[in-house]
Amino acid sequence: MTTSTSPLRVLVWGENRHEQLEPKIAEIYPTGMHNTIREGIEEHSERQVSVTTATLDDPEHGLTEEVLRNTDVLVWWGHAAHAEVEDAVVERVHRHVLAGMGLVVLHSGHWSKIFQKLMGTSCTLRWRSEEDREIVWTVDPTHPIAKGIPHPFIIPQQEMYGEFFDIPAPDEIVFLSTFSGGEVFRSGCTFRRGFGKIFFFSPGDQDYPVYYHDDVRKVIANGVAWAETVRPERTDPVLLRYETEDFYNGQGYRGALAR
Amino acid sequence: MTTSTSPLRVLVWGENRHEQLEPKIAEIYPTGMHNTIREGIEEHSERQVSVTTATLDDPEHGLTEEVLRNTDVLVWWGHAAHAEVEDAVVERVHRHVLAGMGLVVLHSGHWSKIFQKLMGTSCTLRWRSEEDREIVWTVDPTHPIAKGIPHPFIIPQQEMYGEFFDIPAPDEIVFLSTFSGGEVFRSGCTFRRGFGKIFFFSPGDQDYPVYYHDDVRKVIANGVAWAETVRPERTDPVLLRYETEDFYNGQGYRGALAR
Amino acid sequence: MTTSTSPLRVLVWGENRHEQLEPKIAEIYPTGMHNTIREGIEEHSERQVSVTTATLDDPEHGLTEEVLRNTDVLVWWGHAAHAEVEDAVVERVHRHVLAGMGLVVLHSGHWSKIFQKLMGTSCTLRWRSEEDREIVWTVDPTHPIAKGIPHPFIIPQQEMYGEFFDIPAPDEIVFLSTFSGGEVFRSGCTFRRGFGKIFFFSPGDQDYPVYYHDDVRKVIANGVAWAETVRPERTDPVLLRYETEDFYNGQGYRGALAR
Amino acid sequence: MTTSTSPLRVLVWGENRHEQLEPKIAEIYPTGMHNTIREGIEEHSERQVSVTTATLDDPEHGLTEEVLRNTDVLVWWGHAAHAEVEDAVVERVHRHVLAGMGLVVLHSGHWSKIFQKLMGTSCTLRWRSEEDREIVWTVDPTHPIAKGIPHPFIIPQQEMYGEFFDIPAPDEIVFLSTFSGGEVFRSGCTFRRGFGKIFFFSPGDQDYPVYYHDDVRKVIANGVAWAETVRPERTDPVLLRYETEDFYNGQGYRGALAR
């Protein structure tokens, strides 16, 4: 249990492949994108945070039961190697989200196994990487994730992500983005699943230095803070039987044909 | 493609196990619950419908590619044998829903593989089978699914399904149910996923003659009509690249590291 | 009561001032914008419609109790003379919407008294009239209002309407628009209020021939069809007292201090 | 501007008529319901709060421009004298909510002028005051307002408020209530309007000691904390013209016919 005085425990998960394989990207992100994202969160968080990182090539992708149990909010960046993420790890992360772990999914993470599993849809979209200018507009100015964010803010060079984005209707749409080519994208969306809170934020790419952009960093830090659960402990949603007038003591389910 | 003059093609899928294994239930539903549900849809549909049935023990559970391609709306009832539904069939149904097939999930279908996969959550709830009275209240009186439904309507004997029901926040909550024990349930909910429309409706159980209840039958018929897609043909959501100023001709995706 | 065989009764209300005062606009819309809108609805409706028009300068603005009682869906276009619409007429229209009359609010109607009253907000926005290109994107492809609408469609010359648009979070966002200047707008939104359904659609302006655009006309016709109530008769939402176990016979309210 | 170190400034507005006119109620709430509500907020707030009160019979109902400017969150309880609240004061409160003041509306405040104006609907419902037991269920367990609240909690004696409650579909439904008579109510709902956040919570009544109930008090304190704006200063939503490529400097609107 996290009390208000202990730091929020954030884990930034990075695929860390582009940085190893492509010199151009290693130049933009010499310590890996996950570390740049980590620094942005540390820099912009209003409360104390303890941010660590893990990558695809760590054992169990760095996402063991032990690690997840000690993570309040997981930040996910993946792209080229979604298929290499093991199904067992995806199941584990899914279970922790439903039990209350926060999740912030960034950019190309839209096509990760974990995001697809939580959304129930294909999470497909239209795209183009031709240095479009992206303008990010706030359409929910009362939302904590929009706190302190200029309306709009501009990212000079970006990959285009456009609609139709095949996701469920978000619980809240915080940001909409336009691109110089004329496309539009629901770029900042929230979703609740089980006891967990999920924030998807699309700006960010390996080809452009987007994770150094001050407003992008601030949004991610806000999203991390928002995604922390309000519940005192991590618990799985369960199916239980309750006697009449007993509202609190659910009993184990013994199967559909048990009498 | 369904034109407005051809009948709506509805397939009622029933697990059909309780009716085989439990004489008490066979007595309530002598031709199987799927046939009772089918008759209710035929009886209450405002437009012409062609309703067929399929069951778990049919080859491929009666849900072949050919069958699904010719189904506008699938109605799903399962309970004791969710685990026996083959994953490959679940994948196929999932793909058809995202591509535009309507889906109506009834009662204990909340815990089916297909509903869990579409929701991304555990779909757990609290329950009790002790002949509670269920009262169904309309909270979206403008919704097509509520058309002609009394506010409220009463089901004399029912299994109790109660909150917390672990589903995403529905796109629309049409009905709320209360039970004599004091529990509450979001009993009529809509969800869009991909190009498909989903209606979940909780009243209905093998132990009580709920599918003979006139208002329950009318709601299911309304739900079936609502779930029909507005799109002319079934198409998968896809991820495609679009050149600047070409808004209509997406190109194939060649992989994250292709340049 | 409208039965499914009688035509849908639609009333297009036009302010009809620009057309009288500005030759340039009279040239674009020689019979008045309301008549151009009327023709579009007649042309694109899938079911039989009976469309009439009324304007600001008619007695009671053409919106008498008698007229409203016989209107299934009201379409509203106003701009320069919002303040001249009498409060008593606004109250009357408001009451009919809550009782079940459909309402389609077009473009500058966003700042009308009736839309503000139904939204509860200022309905302000950012704008510019400099011949921007507007691109309209569908983000709810399963919605009846999106039926048959290309994704996207393009309006070559338009006034820019941009966010932040001060409206409540819509029940459904069907369309998003981008402008060549880079702005974004929630251009097609639905709202339920009381027993009435409201569709706001922003494309359309007096300075450009937008109401001749085929896709714009189709969207308006779809919106009109969608806004028709599902209820058999127009009834005011009321506050009533119900005895225990009597769910259907509400009694009159006699005041907060009556015992 | 409220910084994170200054206390949250809360104003509890109470009609304070029942307490003056009815000895039975004065006995339950000897210092007035507003003071009981105030104490609950002080007792349960996690951050520092400064809570004051105002009543209907104060000059300008205690809601002067000066007072509202210095109020972060306004809590509203009214019942017997909604009609006596002056329209000018309602306009003022409305403007402050749209500009960012939080608003918590309690129980019979559902029929207040300010709530109706913000909702745009009749806000009618069904009711009965016959000592029903109310059970309050959490359906959004991730919501900050549900933090630390038992699921469910029970209010032994309460007035019944039932559906259909004529409000817009809430942004979030946090709580649902059932009553021993079988009715259901959306008892905890959030709404954003302009730059303001609104929480409606139905438990609470003059006839029963509901505002001494520990969980009710905690919910109200949570609602107050949630309703605080995230914006640094109070600003009215405005309609402004923006030049192409100037995203930040809106200009005054000079009228619809100005060229």
Q: What is the pLDDT of residue C255?
A: 72
Distance between C41 CA and the closest CA of chain B, angstroms = 19
| Token pair listed for C231 | 């209820």
pLDDT in tens, D80-90: 999 999 999 99
Q: Is B229 on the interface with C (CB under 8 A)?
A: yes
| Token pair listed for C143 | 């919605």
Which residue from A111, A160, A168 is facing B168, i.e. has the nearest CB? A168
Rounded mean pLDDT of chain A?
95
Using pLDDT thresholds of 50, 70 and 90, give the confidence band for residue B252: confident
ipTM summary value: 0.96
What are the domain boundaries of chain B? 8-252
How far from C234 is each of B82, B137, C193, CA to CA, in Å? 45, 20, 13
Mean pLDDT, rounded, for D3-31? 92
pLDDT in tens, D207-241: 899 999 999 999 999 999 999 999 999 999 999 99
pLDDT in tens, A44-99: 999 999 999 999 999 999 999 999 999 999 999 999 999 999 999 999 999 999 99
Q: What is the pLDDT of residue B3?
A: 46
Rounded mean pLDDT of chain B?
95
| CATH topology for the A8-252 domain | Rossmann fold (3.40.50)
Q: Would you say residue B256 has pLDDT above 90?
A: no
Q: Is B134 on the interface with D (CB under 8 A)?
A: no
As a whole number of Å, the end-to-end CA separation of chain D is 38
List CB contacts (< 8 A) between C154 and chain B.
247
Q: Would you say residue D3 has pLDDT above 80?
A: no
Q: Please answer whether residues D245 and D96 qualify as being in contact, where contact means their C-beta atoms are separated by less than 8 angstroms.
A: no
Q: How far apart are CA C162 and CA D219, in angstroms?
A: 37
Amino acid at D28: I
Q: What is the pLDDT of residue D4?
A: 55
How far from B18 is each of A61, B126, B134, B155, C19, CA to CA, in Å? 44, 21, 22, 21, 70
B54 DSSP β-pair partners: B13
User: D230 and A152: CB-CB below 8 Å?
Assistant: no
Q: What is the DSSP string of chain D?
A: ---TTSPEEEEEEE---HHHH-HHHHHHSTT-HHHHHHHHHHHH-SS-EEEEEEETTSGGGG--HHHHHT-SEEEEE--TTGGGS-HHHHHHHHHHHHTT-EEEEEGGGGGSHHHHHHH-S----EEEEEEEEEEEEES-TTSGGGTT--SSEEEEEEEEEESPP--PPPSEEEEEEEETTS-EEEEEEEEEETTEEEEEE----SSS-GGG-HHHHHHHHHHHHHHS-SSSS------EE--TT--S--B----TT--
Using pLDDT thresholds of 50, 70 and 90, give the confidence band for residue B257: low
Q: What is the pLDDT of residue A3?
A: 46
Q: Please answer whether residues C197 and C189 qualify as being in contact, where contact means their C-beta atoms are separated by less than 8 angstroms.
A: no
Distance between B77 CA and the closest CA of chain D, angstroms = 25
How far from D66 is each of A93, A103, C22, CA to CA, in Å? 51, 42, 45
User: B138 and D163: CB-CB below 8 Å?
Assistant: yes
Q: Is D192 on the interface with A (CB under 8 A)?
A: yes
Distance between B139 CA and the closest CA of chain D, angstroms = 6
Q: What is the pLDDT of residue C37?
A: 98
pLDDT in tens, B94-123: 999 999 999 999 999 999 999 999 999 999
Q: How far apart are CA B194 and CA B197, in angstroms?
A: 8
Report the relative pairing of strands C240-241 and D8-14 from DSSP bridges: unpaired
Q: Would you say residue A162 has pLDDT above 80?
A: yes
Please state the pTM of the whole predicted model. Answer: 0.97
Q: Is D183 on the interface with B (CB under 8 A)?
A: yes
Q: How far apart are CA C71 and CA C161, in angstroms?
A: 30
As a whole number of Å, the end-to-end CA separation of chain A is 38
Q: How far apart are CA A174 and CA A191, in angstroms?
A: 11
pLDDT in tens, C30-55: 999 999 999 999 999 999 999 999 99
Using pLDDT thresholds of 50, 70 and 90, give the confidence band for residue D252: confident
Mean pLDDT, rounded, for C213-220? 98
Q: What is the pLDDT of residue C94?
A: 98
pLDDT in tens, D108-161: 999 999 999 999 999 999 999 999 999 999 999 999 999 999 999 999 999 999
Q: In b/e form, how buried is each residue of D39-66, taking b as 16+ CB within 10 angstroms?
A: bbbeebbeeebebebbbbeeeebbbeee
Which residue from D138, D180, D184 is facing B176, i.e. has the nearest CB? D184
Q: Please answer whether residues C2 and C228 qualify as being in contact, where contact means their C-beta atoms are separated by less than 8 angstroms.
A: yes
Q: Is C9 on the interface with A (CB under 8 A)?
A: no
List CB contacts (< 8 A) between D172 and chain A.
171
DSSP state of B135: E
